[in-house]
Amino acid sequence: DQQVKQNSPSLSVQEGRISILNCDYTNSMFDYFLWYKKYPAEGPTFLISISSIKDKNEDGRFTVFLNKSAKHLSLHIVPSQPGDSAVYFCAASSLRGGSQGNLIFGKGTKLSVKP
Amino acid sequence: ETGVTQSPTHLIKTRGQQVTLRCSSQSGHNTVSWYQQALGQGPQFIFQYYREEENGRGNFPPRFSGLQFPNYSSELNVNALELDDSALYLCASSDLTSGGASEQFFGPGTRLTVL
């Protein structure tokens, strides 16, 4: 049973518009969430994170929103650029009990930003 | 600052053989986590090493084993290789502090093919 779900395998957006990538989770013990970007033949690159004590975290063009009651988070990219085209992974973990190592990943969403 | 490096980049083995994959953590990081990423899936947590001790393990059989060295580099060993072990193996390093959140930084991965 998948604890972290990214239900859209792919997303296509026009350059300059907003990209919204969604992620749902089922385990209420998760209290730390991360987004990673992955290009082919490279390892995942950390983008942005959010702890469950917040509902929003912003870093430049990237904003992550967390809705704990809905067990849902989203990554907004504004404005989208062609270089943002990659696979985006949502990951979750529980900081309680020192289990920071066990990141649970979704299957990823492939974002294509068209010029 | 040196990032996470992994070797080799590609490897081909036959069923039943044994393999060792290597990872050098990012400067200043004391923790290494290993993940397996099958085609079309998100990375799956194998185990984590913190200060040379195993600090958490995912749902992988005992033929997956690891080591961490005093310089915080790490090895992943897989015995009795099976066809399903074909995947991208990712190493991630982080600075695990008690009670704190820590992003994991990934290496480029080792692509293992088992024939």
Report pLDDT digits (tens) over A19-42.
999 999 999 989 999 999 999 888
Stretch A85-92: mean pLDDT:
96
Q: What letters, b where the CB count within 10 A reaches 16 and e where it falls short, cover B7-35? A: eeeeeebeeeeebebbbbbbeebbbbbbb
DSSP A61: T
Name the helix (H) or strand (E) containing B92: strand B87-94
Residue B98 — pLDDT band, cuts 50, 70, 90?
A: very low
Q: What letters, b where the CB count within 10 A reaches 16 and e where it falls short, cover A71-82? A: bebbbbbeebee
Give the pair of three-digit tokens for residue A87: 């696979």
- Say whether pLDDT at A97 is over 60: no
Judged by CB atoms closer than 8 Å, whether chains meet at A103 and B41 is answered as no
Q: Is A61 exposed, middle or buried (0-12, 13-18, 19+ CB in 10 A)?
A: middle
Smallest Cβ–Cβ distance between A95 and the set B40, B101, B107 belongs to B101
- Say whether pLDDT at B101 is over 80: no
Q: Which of B21, B26, B37 to mutate to test the interface with A (most CBs of A within 10 A)?
A: B37
Smallest Cβ–Cβ distance between B48 and the set A45, A95, A101 belongs to A101
Cβ of residue A62 closer than 8 Å to a chain B Cβ:
no
Of A90-94, B62-66, B84-88, where does mean pLDDT reach its minimum? Answer: A90-94
CA distance to partner chain B, nearest, from residue A15 (Å): 26
Report pLDDT digits (tens) over A41-80.
889 999 999 999 999 999 999 999 999 999 999 999 999 9
Query: Does A101 or B22 have the greater pLDDT score?
Result: B22
User: Looking at beta carbons, which residues of chain A come within 8 Å of B48?
Assistant: 101-102
Smallest Cβ–Cβ distance between A100 and the set B35, B102, B107 belongs to B102
Report pLDDT digits (tens) over B34-57.
999 999 899 999 999 988 899 889
Judged by CB atoms closer than 8 Å, whether chains meet at B90 and A99 is answered as no
Residue B28 — pLDDT band, cuts 50, 70, 90?
A: confident
Smallest Cβ–Cβ distance between B101 and the set A42, A49, A106 belongs to A49
Give the pair of three-digit tokens for residue B11: 């490897």
Q: What letters, b where the CB count within 10 A reaches 16 and e where it falls short, cover B62-99? A: eebbbebeeebbbbbebeebeeebbbbbbbbbbebeee
Of A65-69, B47-51, B81-85, B108-112, where does mean pLDDT reach its minimum? Answer: B47-51
Q: Could you give phi then psi for residue B4, rounded to 5 degrees?
A: -80, 130
Residue B95 — pLDDT band, cuts 50, 70, 90?
A: confident
CB A95 within 8 A of CB B49: no
CA separation for the pair B109, A15 (Å, rounded):
30
- pLDDT for res A39: 93
Judged by CB atoms closer than 8 Å, whether chains meet at B101 and A4 is answered as no
